[in-house]
Amino acid sequence: KDTEKMDSVKQLIENLFGESLKLTVPDELDVVPIVTPCKDLRHGDYQCNNAMSLFAKVKDNMPEFRNPRAVGQAIENNLPASDMIERSSIAGPGYVNVVLSSKWMAKRIHNMLVDGIETWAPKLPVQRAIVDFSSPNIAKEMHVGHLRSTIIGDTLARMLEFSNVEVLRRNHVGDWGTQFGMLIEYLFEQYPNWEASASQDIGDLQKFYKDSKRRFDEDGDFKERAQRAVVSLQGGEEKYRKAWSQICEISRNEFERVYQRLGVVLEEKGESFYNPYITKVLELLSSKNLIVESEGARVIYVEGVERPLIVVKRDGGFNYASTDLAALWYRLNEEKAEWIIYVTDVGQREHFEMFFSAARLAGWLPGGDDKYPKVSHVGFGLVLGDDGKRFRTRSTEVVKLVDLLDEAKTRCKAALIERGKAVEWTTEELEKTAEAVGYGAVKYADLKNNRLTNYTFNFDQMLNDKGNTAVYLLYAHARICSIIRKSGKDIEELKKVGTLALDHPDERVLGLHLLQFSEVVNEACTNLLPNILCEYLYNLSEDYTRFYTNCQVVGSAEETSRLLLCEATAVVMRKCFHLLGITPVYKI
């Protein structure tokens, strides 16, 4: 369906103030309207904050403005007439507050119900983006850090996709490097029949990695063979390539199990993919005199960091940074991405900043936050256990991701059974709901905090059905659906013949919150902060609860309008869930 994209409410208000500012002060000042939602709804819905800073700029040339408030007054007077604004006022030193017309608000919500929530998708200034996320390493453990990257990256990709950006979801797996010599040699030694044997024979790839590493450290002969194997692999020798790809395949299957459960889609373009481009890309950088010799290695010095970025190791080999430079070149030139987003733990910030700087020196990136193409490192903090230390389970050093998801599901299922759902529902309904709530809880617990902070992994907390959890929110949504169902009304019919009104103050507050969906998604995308959307969703459910407590829906004179408002809330909540990678449930 071809949907006309609309400006957000905030954008529309900005447009109005933009026109007013043009009439108020000379064009050449090029003032950009600064509009924010009012913190206190008693003052208004949105406010324009330009008067104060503008006064400083114009006071010498425009003596008619004796103080900032006079500027504010003029901005208010020059506001063009619009059916979206009910009234405006001046506050304090010159804030211009506007109150939206409730009628206009109601109409806009009703239109969304008819035309679909896609009409509320934000408009972003990019066509194509790459989100580089998850990106575990072959044969090594996929740890909770990778889980965070997977969850955060998937949400960012979903938000951008919803905003009509074409997103290339890239899994930059660590599938290249010297460790493969040791792994391949160990495969040959332990599994002489490796070519014929099915991949599951190797079983636990992490154990395989550890054992081969021990062999490498303890046996000089083996070490030598492993080092020769690296050369054979990089030289493209058939047997070695085959062994390498078999090892990768085993890891890939394990990663895929996690992605499937999480409902995450990714396209693998691992480090090995970019290997053939490295030489050419480094030559390009050399030709710009960016690469210099240092202690036998080849390096790039970037501003502000004392240590240089090593791009060719002393043994002549390439590394993580050379691969990332080649990948960036490929993404800019071959894939024509305008925004490249990397999701890893904050510990890698320096690596990203350094190779971003190198790319800027090479003239690949214009630099500046509003110039494209642009690169962003989306860093995140640690996952902690209850002891405040890095999250681990008792028995093993690392937490198996699949086990974690299993446990969340099991606990949810037990809670549902306790509430009698095993009798009430089909087995499939029970399973599906337990999965949706369990996996949703794990994701939401991760996303609701600012990603830069560490957070404590705690099943009891995240599975609590009260407070700011996915469980609470999913149930809130299901409750709305059940109110609509139980009303016995055909909501599609009501959309056609009914009208929506926002006459009660609590209806209006809820309506305003719904209307802000678009600008909130925009903000979450622009700042790459999913927690902004979580906060919005949680506040939405609070506004809904207040409305539902104070306004009778079924059986009231306003039933039709209020059912439509319930439906609009459910639609927006569902879209939030979808953007957060959470499957909504309709029954509880």
Which among 135-143, 333-341, 361-369, 437-445 is the span making contact with ligand ARG, rule CB under 6 A?
135-143
Residues with Cβ within 8 Å of residue 453, at least 6 apart in sequence: 381
| Span between the terminal Cα atoms of the chain, in Å | 32
Pair 99, 44: CB distance under 8 Å: yes
User: Which of 240, 380 has the CB closer to ligand ARG?
Assistant: 380
Which among 131-139, 283-291, 371-379, 457-465 is the span making contact with ligand ARG, rule CB under 6 A?
131-139
Largest CA distance in the chain: 91
Which among 134-142, 283-291, 436-444, 531-539 is the span making contact with ligand ARG, rule CB under 6 A?
134-142
Q: Closest residue (Cβ) to ligand ARG?
A: 135
Tokens at 376, concatenated: 């962003």
Query: Distance between CA 558 and CA 552 in Å, rounded?
Result: 8
User: Which of 355, 577 has the CB closer to ligand ARG?
Assistant: 355
SS (H, E, C) 116-142: CHHHHCCCCCCCEEEEECCCCECCCCC
- DSSP secondary structure string for all residues of 430-473: HHHHHHHHHHHHHHHHHHSS-TTS-EE--HHHHT-SSSSSHHHH
Query: Distance between CA 152 and CA 146 in Å, rounded?
Result: 10
User: Which of 382, 563 has the CB closer to ligand ARG?
Assistant: 382
Number of CB atoms found within 10 A of residue 73's CB: 17
Which among 16-24, 132-140, 154-162, 243-251 is the span making contact with ligand ARG, rule CB under 6 A?
132-140
What is the closest distance, in whole angstroms, from the C-beta atom of residue 160 to ligand ARG in the complex?
A: 17
User: Which of 99, 346 has the CB closer to ligand ARG?
Assistant: 346
User: Which of 143, 477 has the CB closer to ligand ARG?
Assistant: 143
What is the closest distance, in whole angstroms, from the C-beta atom of residue 172 to ligand ARG in the complex?
A: 4
User: Which of 210, 486 has the CB closer to ligand ARG?
Assistant: 210
What is the closest distance, in whole angstroms, from the C-beta atom of residue 346 to ligand ARG in the complex?
A: 12
Number of CB atoms found within 10 A of residue 545's CB: 14
Q: Does residue 273 belong to the site contacting ligand ARG (CB under 6 A)? A: no
CB environment 138-177: b (16+ within 10 A), e (fewer): bbbbbbbbbbbbbbbbbbbbbbbbbbebebbbbbbbbbbb
What is the closest distance, in whole angstroms, from the C-beta atom of residue 142 to ligand ARG in the complex?
A: 9
- DSSP secondary structure string for all residues of 69-86: HHHHHHHHHTPPP-TTEE
* Contact string 437-476 vs ligand ARG (x = CB under 6 A): ----------------------------------------
Binding ligand ARG (rule: CB under 6 A), the pick from 174, 181, 308, 584 is 174
Which among 133-141, 486-494, 528-536, 574-582 is the span making contact with ligand ARG, rule CB under 6 A?
133-141
Which among 28-36, 64-72, 130-138, 480-488 is the span making contact with ligand ARG, rule CB under 6 A?
130-138
**Binding footprint of ligand ARG, residue count (CB under 6 A):** 10
Q: Which of residues 306-345 bind ligand ARG (CB under 6 A)?
A: 324, 327, 342, 344
Q: Does residue 137 belong to the site contacting ligand ARG (CB under 6 A)? A: yes
Binding ligand ARG (rule: CB under 6 A), the pick from 69, 169, 172, 409 is 172
Which among 129-137, 213-221, 406-414, 534-542 is the span making contact with ligand ARG, rule CB under 6 A?
129-137
Q: Which of residues 19-78 bind ligand ARG (CB under 6 A)?
A: none
Q: Does residue 135 belong to the site contacting ligand ARG (CB under 6 A)? A: yes
Query: Distance between CA 588 and CA 578 in Å, rounded?
Result: 19
Residues with Cβ within 8 Å of residue 423, at least 6 apart in sequence: none
User: Which of 212, 322 has the CB closer to ligand ARG?
Assistant: 322
Which among 128-136, 389-397, 443-451, 455-463 is the span making contact with ligand ARG, rule CB under 6 A?
128-136
Residues with Cβ within 8 Å of residue 450, at least 6 apart in sequence: 529, 531
Sheet holding 339-345, edge to edge: 267-268, 166-171, 128-132, 339-345, 374-380
Q: Which amino acid is at 393?
A: T
Q: Which of residues 510-549 bind ligand ARG (CB under 6 A)?
A: none
Query: Distance between CA 170 and CA 331 in Å, rounded?
Result: 10
What Rg do the C-alpha atoms of the chain give, in angstroms?
Answer: 28
Q: Which of 543, 585, 502, 548 lies closest to 110 in space, CA to CA? A: 502
What is the closest distance, in whole angstroms, from the C-beta atom of residue 146 to ligand ARG in the complex?
A: 6
* Contact string 88-127 vs ligand ARG (x = CB under 6 A): ----------------------------------------
What is the closest distance, in whole angstroms, from the C-beta atom of residue 119 to ligand ARG in the complex?
A: 35
Tokens at 392, concatenated: 């681990």
User: Which of 309, 327 has the CB closer to ligand ARG?
Assistant: 327
Tokens at 272, concatenated: 């090995």
Query: Distance between CA 45 and CA 38 in Å, rounded?
Result: 5
What is the closest distance, in whole angstroms, from the C-beta atom of residue 206 to ligand ARG in the complex?
A: 14
Query: Distance between CA 124 and CA 274 in Å, rounded?
Result: 29
Residue numbers of the site for ligand ARG (CB under 6 A)?
132, 135-137, 172, 174, 324, 327, 342, 344
